[in-house]
Amino acid sequence: MKATLRWFGPKDDSVTLENIRQIPGVVGIVSALQEIPVGDVWQKEAIIERKKIIEEAGLDFMAVESVNIHEEIKLNSPDTPKLIENYKQCIKNLSEVGINTICYNFMPVFDWARSDLAKMLEDGSNVLSYDKNLIEGKTPEEMFNEINSNSKGYSLPGWEAEKLPILKNLFERYKGVTEDDLFENLYNFLSRIIPTAEEYNVKMAIHPDDPPWSIFGLPRITTNEKNIERILNLVDSPSNSLTFCTGSLGSRVDNDLPKMIRKFGNKIHFMHIRNVKIHEAGKFDEASHLSSDGNVDMYEVVKALYDINFKGIYRPDHGRMVWGEVARPGYGLYDRAMGVTYINGLWEAIIKENKNK
């Protein structure tokens, strides 16, 4: 498997490509043109420009995270056909530039949600944290404003300022939308774009919902083994695939991660590897990548990847803020660098152990 880091681009990230290049074993970058409004076509020139910057730093642009899905598609409104045509054009343009893995998610309204973007731990580091009681005690608008005022000036995907004025209306429109409706709308999207993805040899890798349960009464479906299986069966194609995120799925104790990795096998094209410390159902902190710091057994995760002969890309996911670093929440340099180093160590050991058998 190949190690990458997520990078938010020249204007939106305090971590530089030069820094990333110095992390042992990291060969690639996962990035997105998040300045392009959701629903618009990503023009080839813009993709080429980002790729050039990455390559000049000695790295490869290996996957896009994410080409986000417009709410109108998730709601399957009359605007859907036109937006789907734009999405197909993005797939085509990315493939023609040599990018064949597209991560996306199908979470209504918000992307990942946390009640605290900088919870202080005993060792003085701080982490993203989730407490259902703090979330449920707020209105979506309060949550939205709180996240944006604590994001250190960064625009977080799914929480873009443009969303605030339409938030009420979106919630109105999601009223009565059930999980089954959302599966249906996802089917409607996939059945139309997957033929294009196949033609251009692109893997559409759906990201689990984070957290993997309903928030503010909104339906969420990419949450557990059964639902992911249902999603992968909606359209039977190698292009209908999965981003397996150990942190998102791992915040539910009933998700058996190594078992799920073995089950979904070659449907996994992209791995997000991080750890979470669950305090009780609906209450967790993100943790360092080390197994003993959280509930995810990293050795078992990496072993399962070895067993499925995983050849895709992975990235360490959110890290803690350590050593006084100030960066985009979850995306500092230091803790992610420690994470990747640790995972590469497990990988090397598992390969050698098995060779000597």
Which active-site residues does the annotation give?
A: 207, 245, 272, 317-318, 331
Beta strands in the chain (DSSP E): 2-6, 26-31, 60-65, 101-104, 116-120, 126-131, 203-206, 240-245, 268-273, 275-280, 283-287, 313-316
Within 13 Å of residue 19, how many CA atoms lie on the same side as its CB?
14
- Report the DSSP beta bridge partners of residue 285: 129, 277
User: Is there binding between residue 220 and ligand DNO (CB under 6 A)?
Assistant: no
Tell which one of 9, 39, 157, 195 touches ligand DNO (CB under 6 A).
Answer: 157
Distance in Å, CB of 270 to ligand DNO, minimum? 10
| List of residues 6+ apart from 193 with CB closer than 8 A | 84, 87, 88, 91, 204
Distance in Å, CB of 111 to ligand DNO, minimum? 5
Residue 170: strand, helix, or coil: helix
- Pick the closer one to ligand DNO by CB: 88 or 272: 272
Distance in Å, CB of 316 to ligand DNO, minimum? 11
User: Is there binding between residue 286 and ligand DNO (CB under 6 A)?
Assistant: no
Handedness of CA 103, 106, 109, 115 (dihedral sign): negative
Distance in Å, CB of 81 to ligand DNO, minimum? 23
- Pick the closer one to ligand DNO by CB: 86 or 350: 86
User: Is there binding between residue 239 and ligand DNO (CB under 6 A)?
Assistant: no
Rounded Cα gap, residues 1 and 3, in angstroms? 7
Q: What would the x/- binding string for ligand DNO be over residues 176 to 215, using CB under 6 A?
A: -------------------------------x--------
User: Is there binding between residue 111 and ligand DNO (CB under 6 A)?
Assistant: yes
| Nearest residue to 58 (alpha-carbon basis) of 98, 94, 29, 99 | 29
User: Is there binding between residue 51 and ligand DNO (CB under 6 A)?
Assistant: no
Beta-carbon count within 10 A of 166 CB? 12
Tell which one of 31, 100, 105, 196 touches ligand DNO (CB under 6 A).
Answer: 105
φ, ψ for residue 349, nearest 5 deg = -65, -40
| Nearest residue to 296 (alpha-carbon basis) of 317, 280, 273, 319 | 273
User: Is there binding between residue 269 and ligand DNO (CB under 6 A)?
Assistant: no
Tell which one of 88, 272, 303, 336 touches ligand DNO (CB under 6 A).
Answer: 272
Tell which one of 65, 71, 131, 286 touches ligand DNO (CB under 6 A).
Answer: 65
Rounded Cα gap, residues 136 and 120, in angstroms? 21
User: Is there binding between residue 334 and ligand DNO (CB under 6 A)?
Assistant: no
The site for ligand DNO (CB under 6 A) is made up of: 65-66, 103-105, 111-112, 157, 207, 245, 272, 317-318, 330
